[in-house]
Amino acid sequence: MKWTYGLVNRLVRLWDIFLLAAAIALGALLGLVEIDRAGAALLIAVIGTLVFVYTLDVAGGYRVERYRRLLPQISLLLFATAVAAVAKLAILWAFGYHRIADLGSLLLWLACTAGLLIAGRLVVMHVVKRLHAQGAFRQDVIIVGATDIAQQIIENIRSPQWRDRYRVIAIFDDRIARLKDASIAGMPIQGDIQSLRDYIHTADADLIAIALPWEAAGRVFDLLERLQMISADIVLPIRPNRLNLRLPQGGDLAGMPVLQLMREPLKGSMALLKLTVDYSIGALGVVLAAPIVAVAALAIKLDSPGPVFFKQPRLGLNNKPFMIYKLRTMTVDPSDDGTRGTDRHNPRITRVGNFLRRSSIDELPQLINVMRGEMSIVGPRAHVPNMLVSDAPYAEAVRRYAMRSRIKPGITGWAQINGMRGGIHTLEKAQRGVDLDSYYIENWSVWFDLKIMVQTLTVGMAGRDVF
């Protein structure tokens, strides 16, 4: 997860809500404002807070550039506080659920509220300044294509106007064989597209710019297909003097108009929400699953020789391999690399293993992968590298397969609860799985994740498709 302006603005809203709650608690503690009924007090506090946040939002107070100057912030905070106070008083007087000691007490409470908010904004200004100094908001850019467009992007980014917003970290080209030892604006070309796909395992890129002209549409779409597994925004720069259209998926890169070809699925606030759900549910799951796993481990040990846990390489975010953990459900066969999957009647499945697979208990150790940051609770299924479907690699059999790696794989997912448990041995089932994963990625929300978790617990952990 990386910092974004949207994430900061949402966190500042939450910070303001916390400070307003503290101001209300302080007013009640000092007896400045007393309300007879608890329900009415809560309603008035909620309405006042909503009015404050809405007023400040409409006035443009929740924008990162505003946090750099204190005086404009103070004026906006005082204005929003006054509007919220008027709204609260209107409710109090309308319904009569109040007792105000005197006007001086009310003004003192409003002054305390404004003081807390201003002090809070000083904290925000300090934090944002530190984040800017550390380059937290700077976007790391990878350029694909050794062209004059790439040269222009680098020159723009190096200018004083943009060098704090962007940084070019690498250049790649699909024609590297013809560009040996070449460089652009003093930066070496690091390799071809496969080199880029390896490079992304160790580098966090925010944006990939395909620096090719529109005339090279064939190369552009070929590159887009080969880069679809990378979790980053992918853009195509547009020459302003060649095309001057208002594009619905347009944007800007260091002053250059761009067409957004692919968008990073989770970033900023969405990434923070996803991480929060993963680690909170994952930590709770580890605690609850520990006794179940312990009993299952003992049963495995008594049932057949071999290790309790099964470890195998799988593909994660950006196609980066990681080691997945499960409870062993089959007899050990070192020659089995997992590329062909497992069918329902595999003779290697043990008696205990059959029960563990049908009840999905064998999946519980994947909570360790979640806490290690390699998996999510909900996401596409984690497949082995070079998994085969009808004797062909899955990535070749289904063209959009690679886009599943744009988010972390999950213990459960939209595809799993819609019949994609068990082996994937036909092209039709493989295509359906990619379609379901694509739908999940494009429509992700916290509520969607919670829905999938509930359906997994109620209907998805067992059934005829689970083996």
Q: How far apart are CA 188 and CA 154, in angstroms?
A: 12
Report pLDDT digits (tens) over 147-171.
899 999 999 999 999 988 999 999 9
Topology adopted by domain 139-262: Rossmann fold (3.40.50)
pLDDT of residue 146: 87
Q: Where in the chain is the domain with CATH 3.40.50.720?
A: 139-262
Bridge partners of 139? 166
Q: Please state the length of the chain.
A: 467
Q: How far apart are CA 124 and CA 62, in angstroms?
A: 11
Residue 272 contacts by C-beta under 8 Å, 6 or more apart in sequence? 1, 7
Q: How far apart are CA 409 and CA 380, in angstroms?
A: 5
φ/ψ of residue 17, rounded to 5: -60, -40
Q: How far apart are CA 460 and CA 412, in angstroms?
A: 9
The answer, yes or no, to whether residue 179 has pLDDT greater than 90, is no
Report pLDDT digits (tens) over 304-327.
899 999 999 999 999 899 999 999
Residue 322 or residue 401, greater confidence: 322
Contact assessment for residue 323 and residue 313, using Cβ atoms and an 8 Å cutoff: yes
Contact assessment for residue 370 and residue 312, using Cβ atoms and an 8 Å cutoff: no
Q: Which of 210-224, 255-269, 372-386 has the highest mean pLDDT?
A: 372-386
Between CA 211 and CA 19, with CA 266 as vertex, the angle to 5 degrees is: 125
pLDDT band at 40 (very low <50, low <70, confident <90, very high): low
Considering the chain, what is the average pLDDT of its residues? 85
Report pLDDT digits (tens) over 282-312.
999 999 999 999 999 999 999 989 999 999 9
The pTM score is 0.83
Residue 408 contacts by C-beta under 8 Å, 6 or more apart in sequence? 316, 317, 374, 375, 376, 379
For the record, the structure tokens of 32 come out as: 């400045």
